[in-house]
Structure 1
């Protein structure tokens, strides 16, 4: 079960023994669990206790949990998190447990290049794009969404080459699932999307751009 619907992809260096991860727990306040998902792909959860402080005094504690997939052959992890700080903390713990280094995969730029000439690519279809716009006193929104079907012929390349493109909305035809991909390479899914369908999208992304 996925707790969050936003994910980021990281390429890792090193050869961690994922089966040994339980033996590397620092204490009872921080621990990993994993299980095979498919051949060569692991489903991992990470939990920790986050103290809540006021004036340097701990007044309460909150349990945090995050999940990620490990694609061992490609040496990629896909982390689902509720905030960048939670994801960064998970990465730091993995780096502490194993001799590993991580590099974020810029999937946004990769797919912008794929969609430069055509809105469809190997079962992924670009349905709309978010473009930044000048704010006015009557409209405080920062972007406008444009459907690909409303874009005049020949202008798609102009939009896809522009730095004003903030995000892409993509349909995965096989599972009929939409997701958005922003300029920070965060892939976001809807709360109603099934976990298995989200996993299939992530697996396709790994194949496409890694």
Structure 2
């Protein structure tokens, strides 16, 4: 099971034998690290740790945190799932320090934007955009969710030019997922793990093909 499917961030890495490198790591007494092979070129890391909560330099409680990573060896891409960006950053930094593997965060939003602007097509269909607006007496909302079906392509591009878009919503084989400006990919808690895997696997493959 995924640690939590709220946030997913992609990273590139530079290791040539990632699985063996990680498999040889010895976690500390406050950590747990396990590797599972999912297929010939994909394996999963489950990493958890105890995060002490301090008050005035005194530990008042301990909070267990965890992340799940899918390692796409052919693409040299890691998809990291966690319940917050800070947890994901901690896990990636900790793994880097232990293994000397260098990770580089992928700007998935910028990658999609380049594909969109060059009209090369993407594997998923854009179905709506969240757009910033100025609240009024008639509508106090600061963010509007606008269906692509309700606007022209010129209007959509205008939103991007004016930096009004905050979030994109896509569908792929009936699976809905979101991508925000910080390149965080998210899914609802009703989406099955296999469906999430198909989406992330597709993004990793297309990103690598686009940049090779």
The TM-score normalised by the length of structure 1 is 0.89
1:24-43 CA distances to partner (integer Å, 9 max, x unpaired)?
22422113101111221111
Question: Deviations for 1:139-166, whole angstroms, at most 9, x for unmatched residues?
Answer: 5533111111001253333334442111
Partner Cα separation in structure 1 for residue 177 and residue 192 of structure 2 = 12
Is the counterpart of residue 121 in structure 1 residue 121 in structure 2?
A: yes
Matches within 5 A, 1:148-159: 148-159=148-159
- Report the alpha carbon displacement of residue 113 of structure 1 after superposing the two structures with TM: 2.9
CA distance in 2, matches of 1:36, 1:26: 19
Match status 1:142 vs 2:151: no
5+ residue gaps, structure 1, are: none
- Report matched runs for 1:1-210 at 5 Å: 1-5=1-5, 6-116=7-117, 121-136=121-136, 139-172=139-172, 174=173, 176-210=174-208
Gapped regions of structure 2 (runs ≥ 5): none
- 1:36-64 Cα offsets, whole Å, 9 max, x none, are 11221111100111112222111221221
Indicate conservation of the 8 Å contact 2:27/2:33, yes or no.
Answer: no
SS state at 1:24 partner: coil
Distance 1:117 1:93, change over 3 A: closer
Distance 1:66 1:165, change over 3 A: same
Whole-angstrom CA distance in 2 between matches of 1:125 and 1:30: 40
3-state SS of 1:155 partner: helix
Q: Distance in 1 between matches of 2:156 and 2:35?
A: 43
Which whole-Å CA distance do the structure 1 matches of 2:184 and 2:34 have between them?
24
Matches of 1:203 and 1:17 in 2, distance apart?
17
In the TM superposition, what whole-angstrom CA distance separates every residue of 1:74-107 from its partner, at most 9, and x where no partner exists?
1110000111211111111111121221111111
Partner Cα distance (2:2, 2:26) in 1: 23
TM-score (ref. length: structure 2): 0.88
Q: Between Structure 1 and Structure 2, which shows a larger proportion of helix residues?
A: 2
